[in-house]
Each structure stands twice: as C-alpha cells, then as structure tokens.
Amino acid sequence: MENKIRIAVGVLLLLGFIMLPVGSLMAAERDVVIVGTDETREGSTFLAGDEVRMEGTVNGDLYVAGDTISITGSVNGDIIGFARDLMISGPVKGDVRAGAQKIRFRGPVAGSVTVACETLHFEKQAAVGGDVIAGCSSANVDGLINGSLFAAAGDFFLSGSVNRNVNISVGTLNVADGAAVGGNLTYISSTEGFIAPNAKIDGEVVWKPEKVEVTATKQKSPWSIKGFLISLVGILIIYWLAKKLRPQIWDQLAQPARDRLLATGGIGLLLLISTPILAILAMITIVGFPLGLIILIVYGILLYISKLVASIYLADVLRIKYNLERPWLWFAVLVVLMLAVDLPYVGWIISVAVLALGLGCGFYTIFGGGSAPTGTLDNPA
C-alpha cells in the first residue's frame, strides 16, 4: 500500500511540475473567456484565458487552462484543468484531473479526483463519488468522499466523511469531532496525529512513524560540457537545414507566441501531457498504429526544436524592449536557455515552459496557418 501511495504522489508531483509554468506564460493583456449560463457546448471543449468562467453546460470533456478558473456549470464528462486558482462547484459526471496553486471543490463529482496543488479544500457541499488522490502542501476535507482517500500533504485536516479507507503521508494530522472514516485510517508522519474523541473511525487507526535517514553521498552532476556541445551542434544543424529548405520557417513557428502567448502556452501544456497518452491509445489498434506512430514522431520533433522556437521568440522580445539589433541574439538566448534548463531547483520549470511554448507554436503553425487566433481558444479543429 505504501508503494501505491508513493507512486500516486510521484505522478501528482509531476502533474504539479507541469502546471507551475502556467503563471509565467500569462500574457500582459487580460483575456476573459466566459461560457454563459444559456450556452451548451457539445463534445470535447478547450478553453484558455487569464480568467475562465464556465457557467453553462458541456456535454463532453472539458480541457481548461488559465490563471483563475471558475466552473459553476455542468460538465457531462471529465475535467482536465491547469490554473493558479481553480474552483469547481458545478456537477461533474466524470473524473477531475487538475493541477493548480489553489483548488476548491464546492459541488458533486460523480467520478474520481486526482489533483496536485499547494492548497486543497473540499467544502461541506462537495461530494466525490469515487476515490481521491492528492498531493499538496495543505488539505482540508469538509465534504464527502464515497471512495478511498490517498494523499501526501504537509498539513491534513479532516472534518468530513470518507466512506472507505484513508491512506496518507502527512506532516501533521488533525481529525475533528464529527469526522467519519468508513474503513481504516493509516497515516505516515513523524509526529502522532490528533484524533478527536467524537470522530468516528470504523476500522483501525494505524500510525507509521516516519524514519528520517541522513546520508552523505556525493552525486555526480549529469551535466557535461561534451553533452552540452553535442546537443547545441545538433540543434544548430537542424536550424540551418530547415532555414535552407524554407527560409521563413522559424519566424513562422515563433509567430503564434507573438500573437497570443497565453493561448499558445495553454494548448502547449495540454499537448505536453495528453499527446503521448493519445498516441499510445491509438497504437493499441492495428488501424490506429500508423497514426499513433506519426503523432509520436511529430511530437518528438516539436519537443527537440522547442528551445529554438523559444529562443527566437525571446530574442524578439528583447530586441523590441531594449532596442537591440543583434543578428545573433537568438543564438545567445538559445545558449542561455540550454544552460538554464540544467539549473538546480528551477531548471525543470524553465524546461517545461519551453516545451509547452514549442508545442503550442507547432500546433498553431500546423493547424492554424502559423498564427494564433485573436478570439478565444474553444473547440479547435
């Protein structure tokens, strides 16, 4: 059971890492996307903006990315969302998979919930039909979870009900009066948790003290000057070959980021996560195998050239802002980006932001004629 929790937490942390660059991709302009109470969207719906308010009905899956997201309407499918502040209060017929700084649930979710965030709150009116898997700094469960709860959190507070088992790894645990657990309560913590006398635990309460092991092993840095130079030369060769065949290709690839950075980064984040899964699912069938293979090849190419696309876009930003007329400015930015992705602690944030930007630009270049739309991102072809 402990291994299952660790695997789940690892997946959630990865989801959180992918989510964090959303804030850095927000454009200066304020982009508000609203689906009104009288609107109904059929099929899978894609929404992206600084502020997204989904007040209507979606008969299908909802993919949403933004700074502040409020979902008060009905979603008759799954929700996959990435935001700084995400609030879900409308009824959801499917599952919820989300990453955000702050996530609040205020309504019913028929399926399961998988989230990674800084703060998580299931309010009293929230009800989850399936299991909950969460990775966060602090979690507060005041509502109802009909399935089991698996979580890793710094501070965990339970005043609601979990109808099956609770398996958590926490810094501090607080189970309030009136809280109910229908199965076992198993928690890993360095300190014993507080369980109020009137809390109802139908199964066993198992405390597993966390063992802190201090090791002094030296780890060799994976970065090397030889590997860096080989990677740089490879990217430059691709740059010059593509430039010879199609002189304007790199400017065209970077154009969507210039036109609408938010939409480009948002769709890039969704593609970064969903494309490998969709390609593998397509490859399961004989008919879909060629399509899945082509998708993976295009996906890999876009990932590899993402640093080039990002460096060209950032060079244009620097050229305009500081009035720099340097023909090789993009090359200097490329070198800095390649070094930055290997920085400790923050390198992964830069890397994911660059990959999302490259994928988003590639998507709009292939399907949108090289330029992101000026309207909202909704149901792309």
Q: What pLDDT digit, counting tens, does each position of 183-218 carry?
A: 999 999 999 999 999 999 999 999 999 664 444 444
Q: Is the pLDDT of residue 39 over 50?
A: yes
Task: List the single range of 74-83, 133-142, 254-263 with lowest mean pLDDT.
Answer: 254-263
Give residue 218's pLDDT. Answer: 44
What pLDDT does residue 283 have? 63
Of residues 185 and 352, which shows the higher confidence score? Answer: 185
Tokens 């009137």, located at residue? 198
How sure is the predictor about 58, in pLDDT bands with cuts at 50, 70 and 90?
very high
What is the phi/psi pair of residue 20, to 5°? Answer: -55, -40
Average pLDDT over residues 265-290: 74
Measured between alpha carbons, how far is 111 from 92 in angstroms, rounded to an integer?
8
pLDDT band of residue 372 (cuts 50, 70, 90) is: very low
Distance (Å, whole) CA 158 – CA 105 = 15
DSSP at 96? E
pLDDT score, position 6: 45
Q: Which residues pair with 185 in a beta bridge?
A: 166, 205
Query: pTM above the 0.85 mark?
Result: no
Helix, strand, coil percent values for the chain (each to nearest 5)? 40, 30, 30
